Structure 1
Amino acid sequence: MTVALDTPPTADGLLLRPFEDADAPALIEAYRDETLRRFTRIPLDSPEQAAHWLALQYDGWAAGTRYSFAVLDAGRLVANVALKRGTPGGETAEVGYWTAAPARGRGVAPRAVEAVTAWAFEAFAVDGLDGLRRIDLLHQVDNHASCRVAEKSGYAFREVLSALPPEFPLDGHRHARNRLDVPEAGR
């Protein structure tokens, strides 16, 4: 059974939905955090930058290359999880995310990443035979929190990736999850 793209992923205690223009103030607030800024590439300091960031998310949905979800807890934006597909209909994709400072350490990122992973494998299955087969999770080697999120979300470490300055100044890790992988119980 294939899930419709307009059926958002579900995670225990969290609401995941596509971003909306009304999320701009919460985005600006989240991006004030130094740690988040360190690991993201697009600055977001003003309403204009927030509008640009949101437009990129909307364009990604329209093109079938990026499915970005606002993650809300009790009505507050606490994270972003995006499924990035370089080739619509391709066998591989990448999941990326960030967590707002007040939500860190509460299991938000692993729950949201797991929800989007399950959603993606179901939404992009083609009669259960082909379609999306693998999702990668990439992070810089010094982002230890992302390494823990990957492990908690069932993404196994695969390899060290060489730095690609200036965009990726440090080496990175590639974690991966295959469609048939089942995350460990009791995380």
Structure 2
Amino acid sequence: MPFLVPPHIPPGRLSSSPQPSLPVGDGLLLRPWRLSDAPAVLAAFSDPAIQRWHLRRADTEAEAVAWIEEWQSAWSTETNVYWAIVRLGDDGRDEVLGRIALRDLIPAIGYAECAYWVLPAARGSGLAPRALGAVRRWAFDEETGFERLELVHSVLNEASCRVAAKSGFLLEGVRRRGHLHADGWHDMHVHARVRGDGRPG
């Protein structure tokens, strides 16, 4: 059955090239995940604040490695894009501070959902909005081609609401009983930015 509208982002536009690293500035970088990052992932998902807003946890480095392998392979299928948020060191090494992702990609309509977490030691530094800005700029670039980015979080997650507001993601509404967490169903705030929205703030 033929489509009436051609895909907004043609299949293969993303996966035909390696997943890019994205500069954030001031020694920060978004880069693809490495298997050697497993200890940082294990530490993140052992944190109660991160566990509160997620459905899964990692109990061993082997489980963290399996997750990273999933994150790495998602680029080739154009279903999700995961980056490690890292601080670059003078010795050429880097330190993982968090994760940012575009999830549930629908390239045919230029849609993706933003998601992130930040390790405890890096919280309160404005890291999440800066990383989100780098991802937004890449996603809305003409060569990438996304048209709409959503950011969805529990109405109880005030920190994520501040990140969304600071990043210029407008609150569009509430998705009632939109997500099941460990403590039950949560209503979810739905924020979004579309191509052409003004500068954040």
Scaled by the length of structure 1, the TM-score of the pair is: 0.87
Find the partner of 1:56 among 55, 70, 82: 70
CA-to-partner distance for each residue in 1:27-62, whole Å, 9 max, x for gaps?
A: 111222110111122211211210221122122111
Q: Percent identity?
A: 34
Q: Which residue of 2 aligns with 1:26?
A: 40
Residues in 1 aligned to 2:24 and 2:157: alpha-carbon distance in whole angstroms: 24
Is the 2:46–2:57 contact (alpha carbons within 8 Å) kept by the matching residues of 1?
Answer: no
Q: Which residue of 2 aligns with 1:169?
A: 185
RMSD in angstroms over aligned alpha carbons? 2.0
DSSP-derived class of the 2:108 partner: coil
Is the 1:15–1:73 contact (alpha carbons within 8 Å) kept by the matching residues of 2?
Answer: yes
Is the 1:156–1:177 contact (alpha carbons within 8 Å) kept by the matching residues of 2?
Answer: yes
Residues in 2 aligned to 1:144 and 1:184: alpha-carbon distance in whole angstroms: 18
DSSP-derived class of the 1:163 partner: strand
1:1-187 to structure 2, matched below 5 A, reads 6-13=19-26, 14-74=28-88, 75-122=94-141, 123-125=143-145, 132-164=146-178, 166=180, 169-184=185-200
DSSP-derived class of the 2:129 partner: helix
Residues in 2 aligned to 1:112 and 1:184: alpha-carbon distance in whole angstroms: 13
Is the 1:89–1:124 contact (alpha carbons within 8 Å) kept by the matching residues of 2?
Answer: no
Q: Which residue of 1 aligns with 2:10?
A: none
Residues in 2 aligned to 1:110 and 1:164: alpha-carbon distance in whole angstroms: 24
Letter of the structure 2 residue corresponding to residue 84 of structure 1: R
Is the 1:10–1:16 contact (alpha carbons within 8 Å) kept by the matching residues of 2?
Answer: yes
Consecutive unaligned residues of structure 1, counting only runs of 5 or more, are 126-131
Q: Which residue of 2 aligns with 1:128?
A: none
- 82-91 or 171-180, larger mean C-alpha shift: 82-91
Residues in 1 aligned to 2:25 and 2:148: alpha-carbon distance in whole angstroms: 24
- 72-81 or 5-14, larger mean C-alpha shift: 5-14
Is the 2:179–2:188 contact (alpha carbons within 8 Å) kept by the matching residues of 1?
Answer: no
1:124 Cα deviation from its structure 2 partner: 2.0
CA-to-partner distance for each residue in 1:121-152, whole Å, 9 max, x for gaps?
A: 11422xxxxxx211000000100000000011
CA-to-partner distance for each residue in 1:91-113, whole Å, 9 max, x for gaps?
A: 21111111111111000000001
Q: Count residues in correspondence.
A: 178
DSSP-derived class of the 2:71 partner: helix
Consecutive unaligned residues of structure 2, counting only runs of 5 or more, are 1-12, 89-93
